Amino acid sequence: MANFKDSPHYAVNDEYMTRKSAWEDIFPYIPDRFKNGNTVVWEPFFGNGQSAKYLREMGFKVYSKNEDFFKVTKEKLDSKKIGLVITNMPFSHKQKVFERLKELGIPFVLLLPTTTIHTLYFKKAFGDDKAIQLIFPYKKRQYDKMGLAPGEKQNDNCSFYSLYICWKVGMKKNIIFF
């Protein structure tokens, strides 16, 4: 997506939702202390609400509202006892989201394009941070486009590979390939 944003022929569209399989695939790697209602997971990018639903179905206690991620206060998150963020954010806001999450200090699992780890802003924010862990799926993640026209089908030919960037999660390994 990043290589299209500067092209006059393509519009940036962040309205793509994560499929349940993308969350199910990483479930075994998330430490037990975050599972089975042991902590509240924040899914801050509500979208169509499906990611929060999928995470609940997997046994997570989830807080997810259709609210502005950048305006939710630390006090509100503390009152909800948020212990982990799991999300697929709008890719066009990656840098600002990283800055905000690091400022909040909440552990996270973010689904992003693999090219994210090559950006200068990522290297500046997390380059020497020993709390960063990465999960690389062997196959491409597929995303569901919101607002399809009647009869329009999902495109299962994603043009990029994705990874999960984890911070302060404490998985057993720093780099996982599956």
Least confident stretch, 10-14, 77-81, 105-109, 171-175? 10-14
* CATH 3.30.70.120 matches 16-177: no
Residue 20 has pLDDT above 90, yes or no: yes
Domain ranges of the chain: 16-177
Residue 14's pLDDT is what?
64
- Among left, alpha and beta (phi > 0; psi -120 to 50; other), residue 37 is left
pLDDT digits (tens, 9 = 90+) for 74-98: 999 999 999 999 999 999 999 999 9
CA 55 from centre of chain = 12
C-alpha closest to that of 43 among 1, 96, 106, 93: 106
CA 89 from centre of chain = 5
Say which residue, 141 or 3, is predicted with more confidence. Answer: 141
Buried b (16+ CB within 10 A) or exposed e, 116-149: beeeeebeebbeeeeebbbbebeeebbbbeeeee
Residue 42 has pLDDT above 50, yes or no: yes
pLDDT digits (tens, 9 = 90+) for 98-111: 999 999 999 999 99
Pairing of strands 82-87, 40-42: parallel
Radius of gyration over every alpha carbon of the chain, rounded to an integer in angstroms: 16
